[in-house]
Amino acid sequence: MTVVSAGRLVSRRPADALFRFATAACASIVLILLAGMLIRTTWAAWPAFSHSGISFVTSNNWNPNLNQFGGLSFIYGTLLTSILALVLAVPISVLIALFLTEIAPARLGTALGYVVDLLAAVPSVVYGLWGVFVLVPFLTNYVWQPLSSHLSFIPFFSPFASGRNFATAGVILALMIIPIISAVSREVFRTVPADERESALALGATRWEMIRLAVLPRSRQGVLAAVILGFGRAVGETIAVAYLIGGVPNKITADLFEQGSSIAANIALQFNEAASLPLFKAALIGLGVVLFAITLLINIGARLIIRRGGRGA
C-alpha cells in the first residue's frame, strides 16, 4: 500500500485521521486474515506433517487406508495441468488482448471485452459439467484419439485410455484462465501511451511493426505478471479439475493421456471420507497448506516482476 504524500499535510484534521485509521484497519484485516489462515491450517495439518515428515511432499505414495500420506503426485498433477493450461492459454489470450486493443474497431473491442470478462464470471462447476458432457466426448473423438493413434511414438501421447486425463484437465484450465490473462493484458496494452504508437506509425511502421516495436516491449512485464496470475488461478482450480482429471492418486508420468489428480481436486474428492479420521483430515488440510504455499510463491513472484518492470519503464 502506498500512502499518498499529500495525506501528511492535512492529517491534523480529525476526519482525516479517522479516515486514515479506517483504511489502515481494513487493509490490515487482509493481513491478519491471511496470517490467521496460514497459522490455523498449518496447526490443523501438523499431525500429518509430523507423521509423514518431508515425505509429505517428496513421496509419491498416498494411501489413506494405510496412513501413508505422500502428496508428490498431487503437486505434480497441479503443476503439470497448470503449465499445460498456460502453454495453450497464453498465446491465445495475448492475441485476444491485442485484437481488442489494437485491431478491432473501438466499439467492437469494448463489446468483445465485456464478453471476455463475462467468461471469467462463469462458475467453475459449470465449466466442470460442460467439460464432462461436451468437452470430453469432443476431445476424445476428434483430438485425443487421432493424436494418440498417429503420434503415439511421442512419449506424451500414449495409447489412449479415457477422455478424463491430464490433457483434458489442462484444456479446461486453459479455457478458465484465458479471460483473466486476456483481460489483464488488455489493460496493460491500454497503458502504452498513444504518442508512442503514433510515433511508430509516423515512422512508417505497419500495424504489426507498431505492435512489435511500441506495444509489446513496454508491456512485457505486465503480460508476464498476467500470465503468473493465470497460473495462480489454474493451480487452485478445484471442481472442474476434479471432474476431468481422472481422480487417480500416485501417478507421475509425462504421458498426458494418463489419469492423475491435483492438490485441490484431491481435497475435494476425499474430504468427505476423512471427516472422522483425524490423521487423514490433517493430511488433506496439509495439502491445502502446500497449495497455499504454491499460490503465495506465485503471487510473490508476480509482485517482484511487476516491481522490477515498474522501475525499468
Partner 1 sequence: MTFVQGGPVSRKAAAAVAAVGIMLAGAACSSSSSSSGGSPGSGSSTINGAGSTFAAPMYQQWAGQYKAKHGVQINYQAIGSGGGISEFTQGVVKFGATDAPMSGTEQAAAQAGQGSVVLHIPMIIGAIAVIYNEPSLKSLKLDGPTLASIYLGKVKKWNDPAIKALNPGVSLPTDPIQPVERADSSGTSYAYTSYLSAISPSWASQVGASKAPSWPTGTGATGSSGVAAAVQQTKGGIGYVEYGYATQGHIPFATLKNASGQFVAPSTASTNAASAAATYPTTLTKLTFSLVNSSASGAYPLVTPTYILIAQKQDTSTGNELKAWMEWCLASPQQSEVTTLGYAPLPPKLISLNLAALKTVR
Query: Which of 18/297 has CB closer to partner 1?
Result: 297
Name the minimum Å distance from CB 85 to partner 1.
14
Which three-class secondary structure state does DSSP give residue 160?
A: coil
Name the minimum Å distance from CB 39 to partner 1.
14
Query: Which of 41/156 has CB closer to partner 1?
Result: 41
For residues 158 and 257, the answer to whether their CB atoms sit within 8 Å is: yes
Name the minimum Å distance from CB 60 to partner 1.
13
Query: Which of 22/125 has CB closer to partner 1?
Result: 125
Name the minimum Å distance from CB 226 to partner 1.
6
**In whole angstroms, what is the distance from residue 69 CA to residue 55 CA?**
8
Q: Compute CA distances 230 → 115, 175, 221, whole Å.
A: 18, 11, 14
Query: Which of 15/66 has CB closer to partner 1?
Result: 66
At 68, list the grid cell: 501413508
At 239, list the grid cell: 471442481
> CB-based contacts of 2: which residues, under 8 Å, 6+ apart?
none
Query: Which of 17/217 has CB closer to partner 1?
Result: 217
Name the minimum Å distance from CB 245 to partner 1.
8
Name the minimum Å distance from CB 140 to partner 1.
6
**Region of residue 53 (phi > 0: left; psi between -120 and 50: alpha; otherwise: beta):** left
Q: At 210, which helix (H) or strand (E)?
A: helix 207-210
**DSSP letters for 228-284:** HHHHHHHHH--HHHHHHS---SS---S-TTS----HHHHHHHHHHHHTT-HHHHHHH
Query: Which of 151/296 has CB closer to partner 1?
Result: 296
Q: Tell me which residue has cell 484485516.
A: 29
